[in-house]
């Protein structure tokens, strides 16, 4: 079974600075997908960014980018120019390449933005 580990229960960053959230995963599969979800206080899960394992290029969505290291099974999220609205829980998630299986989530990182 796949596992996802987020080793930082909480991170704090000054507004306008850059922060990196860590995620590692364990799998024997070669075809899979990785995601970062944001959960603000409303608890709505919002997809932030996606990465296909077969793509070498790191995904980027505006201020959000990932550092995908397939051999190391590492998938970190970098948030540039942090904004107060970025404050939330961030979850790393894994999905197998085939079938209808659901997502496997890490336990999350609580991101605090200091004004």
Partner 1 sequence: SQTIHQWPATLVQPVGSPLSLECTVEGTSNPNLYWYRQAAGRGLQLLFYSVGIGQISSEVPQNLSASRPQDRQFILSSKKLLLSDSGFYLCAWRGTGKFPYEQYFGPGTRLTVT
75: burial class by Cβ within 10 Å (0-12, 13-18, 19+)? buried
Q: Does 106 bind partner 1 (CB under 8 A)?
A: yes
Quick one: which of 23, 77, 104, 111 contacts partner 1 (CB under 8 A)?
104
Q: Which of 1, 47, 5 is CA-nearest to residue 25?
A: 5
Shortest reach from residue 42's CB to partner 1, in Å: 8
Shortest reach from residue 16's CB to partner 1, in Å: 29
CB distance 38 to 89 below 8 Å = yes
H, E, C per residue of 4-43:
EECCCCEEEEECCCCEEECCEEECCCCCEEEEEEEECCCC
Stretch that binds partner 1, among 18-26, 44-52, 62-70, 72-80 (CB under 8 A): 44-52
Shortest reach from residue 2's CB to partner 1, in Å: 12
Q: List interacting residues with partner 1 (CB under 8 A).
A: 4, 33, 35, 37, 42-47, 50, 91, 93, 95, 97, 100-108
């Amino acid at each position: 079974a796949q596992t996802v580990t987020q080793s930082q229960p909480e991170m704090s960053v000054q507004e306008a600075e850059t922060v990196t959230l860590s995620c590692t995963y364990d799998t024997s599969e070669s075809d899979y997908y990785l995601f970062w979800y944001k959960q603000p206080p409303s608890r709505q899960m919002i997809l932030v960014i996606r990465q296909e394992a077969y793509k070498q290029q790191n995904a980027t969505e505006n201020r959000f980018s990932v550092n995908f290291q397939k051999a190391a099974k590492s998938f970190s999220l970098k948030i540039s120019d942090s904004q107060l609205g970025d404050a939330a829980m961030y979850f790393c998630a894994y999905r197998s390449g085939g079938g209808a299986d659901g997502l496997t989530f890490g336990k999350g990182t609580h991101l605090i933005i200091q004004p």
